[in-house]
């Protein structure tokens, strides 16, 4: 398998291995200087994350665009193919046109199609395993309200239209369309249009919880919604998480405290493989500490059963873009960053400490 790996993939693997080695060394070091039990727990979790990341990369199917859950406790696989229906900049952020479109759209509430054209728009593909008990895409962290359904010409399944629940109260213009794939009914193509301007994004979910997947499934049945996130929000959340991390670091640098630790990592029972491919990606040089940490945090988070385990995977072209692009998504996949174990992890990772050549 490794024979077909691209340079980026090999580099990624190398970096992960190296990081794991560093963590091991840290454990040895801390073991000699500190008797705090949590230290070892933390390091164990670091190692666990690395090991599982490596495991993912080593999966035989990781060279395809489809992520199949290959562990018994991964009930559903999410294929997240980011189809750039509008240009996405190299770092995954919407282009200036996208931003302009959103901005103008916010100024002018009388949305028309021309403006819609300029909105950021991308498509994710979500594979959902029927074995998981869910028949539709899992929640993507935002609160959506279905406002329409339409039979599409030449499509076997109708298309469902969703808009942000807070459209009226906060004038959030984000919408999404969910279309079940003709070829593979287990795949839902989710097209996101516009960005969330509401303050009830994913992070807000820790307050008013949206309907559970079970509830949503009960309601939506066949035309379920969801998956994935708004990219800008992901970026913002990446920043938020980093900010929280740094706050935590101020505690950390004073020594390991007695904050309650999350239970050891376990794969959630209803989890999703997850891949994002296409141009909605980072270049290796754009992979900053946010995405790195986000990967770890989400990867290890068992907090939200419907959206917790997201598998990064190389795309079919063998590069690392899909993997990298999925990182911000991984960040926000976990609905509440407060639930992310990494926020409880007391290790320091300042931007200055990040190897600027990470993945290079």
Partner DNA sequence: GGAATTTGACCTTA
Partner DNA sequence: TAAGGTCAAATTCC
The footprint of DNA (CB under 7 A) covers 111-114, 116-117, 143-155, 159-161, 163, 165, 175, 177, 193, 211, 215-216, 218-221, 223, 225
Using DSSP, state whether 150 is helix, strand or coil. Answer: strand
CA gyration radius for the chain? Answer: 20
Helices 289-299 and 231-252, axial angle in degrees (round to 10): 90
Q: How far apart are CA 230 and CA 16, in angstroms?
A: 27
CB of 151 to DNA, least distance (A): 7
**Residue-wise DSSP of 23-73:** HHHHHHHHHHH---HHHHHHHHHHHHHHHHHHHHHH-GGGGSS-PPP-STT
CB of 92 to DNA, least distance (A): 23
Q: How far apart are CA 157 and CA 146, in angstroms?
A: 16
* Closer by beta carbon to DNA, 117 or else 259: 117
* Closer by beta carbon to DNA, 166 or else 299: 166
- Ranges of beta strands (E only) in 181-311 are 187-193, 272-273
* Closer by beta carbon to DNA, 48 or else 226: 226
CB of 315 to DNA, least distance (A): 25
User: Do residues 314 and 322 lie in contact, with contact meaning Cβ atoms separated by under 8 Å?
Assistant: yes
User: Do residues 337 and 203 lie in contact, with contact meaning Cβ atoms separated by under 8 Å?
Assistant: yes
Residues 6 or more apart whose Cβ sits within 8 Å of residue 90: 281, 282, 283, 286
Pairing label, strands 76-77, 83-84: unpaired
* Closer by beta carbon to DNA, 39 or else 120: 120
* Closer by beta carbon to DNA, 166 or else 347: 166
CB of 77 to DNA, least distance (A): 23
- For residue 81, list its beta bridge partners: 277
* Closer by beta carbon to DNA, 221 or else 243: 221
* Closer by beta carbon to DNA, 71 or else 106: 106
CB of 179 to DNA, least distance (A): 8
* Closer by beta carbon to DNA, 213 or else 294: 213
CB of 121 to DNA, least distance (A): 9
* Closer by beta carbon to DNA, 63 or else 84: 84
Q: How far apart are CA 1 and CA 296, in angstroms?
A: 25
Sign of CA dihedral 155, 221, 233, 329: negative
Q: What is the DSSP letter of 160?
A: E
CB of 334 to DNA, least distance (A): 21
Q: Take residue 126 and report the two structure tokens written for it.
A: 């979500």
Q: How far apart are CA 258 and CA 236, in angstroms?
A: 29
CB of 117 to DNA, least distance (A): 6
CB of 135 to DNA, least distance (A): 12
Residues 6 or more apart whose Cβ sits within 8 Å of residue 235: 92, 93, 328
């Amino acid at each position: 398998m490794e024979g077909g790996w691209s340079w980026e993939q090999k580099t990624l693997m190398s970096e992960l291995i190296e990081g794991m080695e560093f963590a091991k060394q840290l454990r040895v070091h801390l073991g000699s200087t500190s008797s705090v039990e949590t230290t070892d727990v933390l390091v164990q979790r670091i190692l666990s994350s690395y090991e599982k990341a490596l495991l993912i990369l080593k999966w035989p199917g990781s060279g395809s665009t489809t992520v199949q859950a290959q562990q018994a406790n991964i009930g559903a696989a999410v294929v997240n193919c980011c189809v750039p229906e509008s240009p996405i900049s190299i770092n995954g952020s919407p282009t200036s046109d996208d931003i302009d479109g959103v901005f103008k759209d916010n100024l002018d509430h009388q949305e028309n199609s021309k403006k819609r054209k300029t909105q950021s728009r991308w498509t994710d593909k979500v594979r959902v395993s029927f074995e998981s008990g869910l028949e539709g895409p899992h929640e993507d962290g935002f609160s959506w309200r279905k406002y329409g359904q339409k039979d599409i010409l030449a499509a076997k399944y109708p298309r469902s239209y969703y808009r942000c629940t807070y459209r009226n109260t906060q004038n959030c213009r984000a919408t999404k369309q969910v279309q079940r794939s003709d070829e593979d009914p287990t795949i839902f193509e989710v097209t996101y249009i516009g960005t969330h301007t509401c303050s009830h994004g994913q992070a807000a979910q820790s307050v008013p919880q949206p309907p559970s997947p079970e509830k949503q499934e009960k309601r939506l049945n066949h035309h379920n919604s969801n998956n994935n996130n708004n990219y800008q929000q992901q970026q913002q959340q990446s920043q938020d998480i980093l900010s929280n991390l740094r706050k935590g670091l101020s505690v950390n640098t004073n020594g390991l405290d007695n904050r309650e630790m999350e239970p050891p990592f376990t794969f959630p029972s209803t989890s999703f493989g997850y891949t994002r491919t296409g141009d909605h990606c980072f270049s290796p040089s754009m992979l900053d500490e946010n995405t790195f940490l986000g990967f770890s945090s989400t990867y290890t988070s068992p907090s939200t059963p419907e959206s917790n385990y997201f598998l990064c995977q190389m795309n079919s072209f063998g590069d690392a873009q899909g993997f990298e692009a999925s990182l911000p998504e991984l960040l926000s996949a976990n609905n509440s960053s407060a639930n992310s174990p990494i926020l409880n992890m007391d290790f320091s990772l300042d931007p200055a400490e990040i190897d600027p050549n990470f993945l290079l």
